[in-house]
Amino acid sequence: MLYGKENRDEAEFLEPIFGSESEQVDLPKYKLAQQSIEPRVAYQLVQDEMLDEGNARLNLATFCQTYMEPEAVKLMSQTLEKNAIDKSEYPRTTEIENRCVNMIADLWNASEKEKFMGTSTIGSSEACMLGGMAMKFSWRKRAEKLGLDISAKKPNLVISSGYQVCWEKFCVYWDIEMREVPMDKEHMSINLDKVMDYVDEYTIGVVGIMGITYTGRYDDIKALDNLIEEYNKQTDYKVYIHVDAASGG
Ligand X SMILES: Cc1ncc(COP(=O)(O)O)c(C=O)c1O
CB of 244 to ligand X, least distance (A): 5
Spell out the residues 6+ positions from residue 214 whose beta carbon is closer than 8 angstroms to its own: 162
CB of 221 to ligand X, least distance (A): 13
CA dist., res. 159 & res. 153, Å (int): 18
Determine the residue with CB nearest ligand X: 123
Q: What is the contact surface with ligand X in residues (CB under 6 A)?
A: 123-125, 128, 164, 166, 209, 213, 244, 246
CA dist., res. 53 & res. 4, Å (int): 43
Residue among 166 and 206 whose Cβ is closer to ligand X: 166
Q: End-to-end CA distance of the chain, in Å? A: 60
Q: Which residues pair with 165 in a beta bridge?
A: none
CB of 99 to ligand X, least distance (A): 22
> Would you tell me the crossing angle of helices 124-145 and 166-173 to the nearest 10 degrees?
40
Residue among 91 and 123 whose Cβ is closer to ligand X: 123
Residue among 201 and 219 whose Cβ is closer to ligand X: 219
CB of 61 to ligand X, least distance (A): 7
Residue among 181 and 246 whose Cβ is closer to ligand X: 246
Residue among 14 and 60 whose Cβ is closer to ligand X: 60
CB of 249 to ligand X, least distance (A): 10
CB of 186 to ligand X, least distance (A): 21
Q: How far is CA 19 from CA 22, 33, 56, in A?
A: 8, 19, 31
Residue among 55 and 232 whose Cβ is closer to ligand X: 55
Residue among 143 and 166 whose Cβ is closer to ligand X: 166
CB of 31 to ligand X, least distance (A): 28
